[in-house]
Chains A and B, each alone.
Chain A
Amino acid sequence: MLHIINKSPLDRPAFDSALKTGEGAILLIEDGVYAAAKGGVVEPKLKAAMGKFKFYALTPDLEARGIADRLIEGVTTVDYAGFVDLVAEYKTSQSWL
């Protein structure tokens, strides 16, 4: 399943909630991209979850927020075309609003 997370991990529990549920791929978009930034308390959580999930982050949202330069290793960046490909690849998507 593709999990789409659009909220910052320290603002909303969506990121934590998604990590507990299922497996597959997590795509971070909008404020959700903050979960992919190095150096904070979320980094170890995300790294620990890399066994269960492939992590993706939407490049335009990283760049908008000035954090494209500090991506956690192992997170793959995608553009909107890549977003479409991910949705096509997985049978369903869950938006963790």
Chain B
Amino acid sequence: MKFAILVNEGPYTHQASDTAFQFAKAVLAKGHEIFRIFFYHDGVNNATRLTTPPQDDRNIVNRWSKLAEEHNLDMVVCVAAAQRRGIVDEGEMKRNGKDATNLAPGFRISGLGQLVEAGIQADRLVVFGD
């Protein structure tokens, strides 16, 4: 079965990102496919490579990047939500006159159409949020 996952909250403040991650791992462990993981609202904050969580706690951003790399996942950050919250890649930096990028590996910034497409193409879409 093809799954799509929507993550509406950022790392650490809400458990949503953690639950979504554990769910994503379980989906893959069961042999299903993940069509896309889409990050919206504060969920875009899962994609900043500038976090330094304590050493003895989980590194939420890095483990998303690692999961994406291991399983060739498509992790998309909504461009409008990212612009509001300061998640920036090369393209956004140039387009909006910013002086830095901070997008973590494994993520790409794109439009809400990617979320709608995920809803269309996947057999199941699950929402994690507040």
Contacts and interface: CB of A to CB of B under 8 A. Distances in A.
Q: Tell me, yes or no, whether A and B come into direct contact in the complex with CB atoms closer than 8 A.
A: yes
| Chain B contact surface mostly | mixed
Interface of B: 1, 3, 8, 15-16, 19, 22-23, 25-27, 29-30, 32, 124-130
Nearest 5 pairs of A and B residues by beta carbon: A80-B26, A95-B127, A97-B129, A30-B15, A84-B26
Interface residues of A, number: 18
Contacts of A95: 126-129
Contact of B8 (A4, A83, A93, A97): A97
B128 A84 contact: no
A83 B124 CA distance: 13
| Chain A contact surface mostly | helix
Contacts of B25: 80
Interface string A63-79: 00000000000000001
13 contacts: A29-B19, A31-B15, A60-B22, A81-B30, A83-B23, A83-B26, A84-B30, A84-B32, A87-B124, A88-B124, A95-B127, A97-B8, A97-B127
B3 to A, nearest CB: 7
Nearest to A4: B126
Nearest to B15: A30
B110 to A, nearest CB: 23
Given A95-B126, A95-B127, 19 more contacts: A4-B126, A6-B15, A6-B128, A30-B19, A31-B15, A80-B22, A80-B25, A80-B26, A81-B29, A83-B26, A84-B23, A84-B30, A87-B126, A88-B32, A92-B124, A93-B125, A93-B127, A95-B128, A97-B8
B1 A88 contact: yes
